[in-house]
């Protein structure tokens, strides 16, 4: 942090150029005090916002009606979210043999997903979250999560304690991705895993939707990462057996909504960043998302890596 030049936040490279595209928020219409500038790194192919926002600015980019802070939107999305929690809990049960499974979630939100996962396994949860209202909501559910950023968090009392560190839709939001993975490494026991999901730059969807690609999600996404660069970043932090793969996700529905709003001027009452068309867009997007995932170029990617 406190970078004085536009160094790539993923690979540290300095061969970067300003992207000729004014970032816009098509979901919550948040306008940062000073407009964001986006750079493309010629070394690793990632894009990142520079100068970096302050923690205070970053927090202000998340309105209280942000979708991950609110209840699910309609039957289709709610069903998908419940299926996802179940699948993740089952996966962790297979991966880790000791009980309870000690799991640290970066960007824990209101910890609703902890409740969902608890139905399918014996977990001991911890985490960190940037938004005070979400930390309070988590406490009401009985979970104690730290307030702030993982970068600033003093993790001395948490080191070498966890079987799993999760980062779902997180890497693209943090101020210092390099420090993020170094801290995840410290949190884990040897034999523990870091895992998560984030938008993939190397997807068919980005080529189709261009600036309306949901992976941009400005101003909250402050870096956009390629699978290759992510893999290198994780390895560089000390992890081994790094796997980065296309994820099955109906991400193109959001890209299509952004396109309708940003390009075609569609306006409708929005709830948690979603228009009334969103459920239909999920259905319409499904065949496209299945196809791009089948060829390994989905809009989202999963990663997992081992602390040796
Ligand atoms: Zn780079």
The tens digit of pLDDT for each residue in 157-180 reads 999 999 999 999 999 999 999 999
User: What distance in angstroms lies between residue 19's CA and the mean position of ligand 1's atoms?
Assistant: 14
Burial class (CB in 10 A: 0-12, 13-18, 19+), 114: buried
User: What distance in angstroms lies between residue 301's CA and the mean position of ligand 1's atoms?
Assistant: 18
**Among candidate residues 116, 108, 148, the one with its CA nearest the CA of residue 130:** 148
User: What distance in angstroms lies between residue 296's CA and the mean position of ligand 1's atoms?
Assistant: 22
User: What distance in angstroms lies between residue 41's CA and the mean position of ligand 1's atoms?
Assistant: 5
pLDDT for residue 64: 82
Q: Which residues surround ligand 1, an ion (CB under 5 A)?
A: 8, 10-11, 13, 41, 43-44, 46
pLDDT for residue 71: 62
Burial class (CB in 10 A: 0-12, 13-18, 19+), 112: buried
User: What distance in angstroms lies between residue 227's CA and the mean position of ligand 1's atoms?
Assistant: 12
User: What distance in angstroms lies between residue 229's CA and the mean position of ligand 1's atoms?
Assistant: 7
- Domains, the chain: 63-306 (3.40.50.150)
Collect the ranges in the chain with pLDDT lower than 70.
1-5, 70-73
User: What distance in angstroms lies between residue 13's CA and the mean position of ligand 1's atoms?
Assistant: 5
Exposure string for 184-210, b = 16+ CB within 10 A, e = fewer: bbbbbbeebbbbbbbbbbbbbbbebbe
User: What distance in angstroms lies between residue 235's CA and the mean position of ligand 1's atoms?
Assistant: 15
User: What distance in angstroms lies between residue 200's CA and the mean position of ligand 1's atoms?
Assistant: 15
Identify the three-state secondary structure at position 301.
strand
Q: Is the pTM of this model over 0.75?
A: yes
pLDDT for residue 4: 47
Q: Which residues have C-beta within 8 Å of that of residue 8, sequence separation ≥ 6?
A: 14, 16, 39, 41, 43, 44, 46, 48
pLDDT for residue 3: 45
pLDDT for residue 21: 81
User: What distance in angstroms lies between residue 300's CA and the mean position of ligand 1's atoms?
Assistant: 19
Polymer length in residues for the chain:
308
């Amino acid at each position: 942090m406190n970078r004085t030049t536009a160094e790539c936040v993923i690979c540290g490279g300095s061969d970067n150029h300003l992207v000729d595209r004014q970032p816009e928020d098509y979901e919550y219409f948040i306008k940062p005090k000073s407009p964001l500038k986006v750079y493309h790194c010629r070394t690793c192919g990632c894009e990142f916002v520079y100068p970096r926002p302050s923690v205070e600015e970053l927090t202000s980019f998340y309105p209280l009606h942000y979708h991950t802070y609110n209840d699910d939107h309609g039957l289709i999305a709610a069903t998908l979210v419940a299926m996802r929690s179940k699948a993740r809990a089952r996966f962790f049960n297979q991966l880790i043999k000791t009980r309870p499974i000690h799991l640290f979630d970066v960007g824990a939100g209101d910890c609703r997903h902890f409740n969902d996962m608890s139905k399918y396994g014996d977990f001991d949860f911890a985490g960190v979250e940037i938004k005070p209202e979400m930390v309070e909501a988590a406490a009401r559910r009985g979970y104690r999560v730290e307030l702030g950023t993982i970068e600033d968090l003093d993790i001395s009392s948490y080191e070498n304690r966890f079987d799993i560190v999760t980062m779902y839709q997180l890497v693209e939001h943090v101020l210092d991705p390099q420090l993020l993975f170094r801290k995840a490494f410290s949190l884990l026991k040897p034999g523990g895993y870091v895992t998560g999901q984030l938008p993939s730059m190397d997807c068919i969807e980005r080529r189709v939707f261009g600036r309306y690609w949901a992976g941009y999600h400005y101003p909250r996404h402050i870096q956009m990462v390629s699978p290759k660069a992510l893999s290198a970043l994780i390895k560089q932090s000390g992890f081994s057996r790094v796997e980065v793969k296309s994820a099955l996700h109906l991400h193109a529905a959001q890209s299509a909504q952004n396109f309708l709003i940003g390009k075609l001027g569609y306006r409708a009452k929005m709830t948690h960043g979603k228009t009334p068309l969103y459920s239909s867009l999920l259905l319409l997007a499904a065949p496209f998302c299945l196809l791009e995932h089948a060829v390994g170029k989905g809009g989202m990617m999963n990663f997992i890596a081992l602390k040796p």
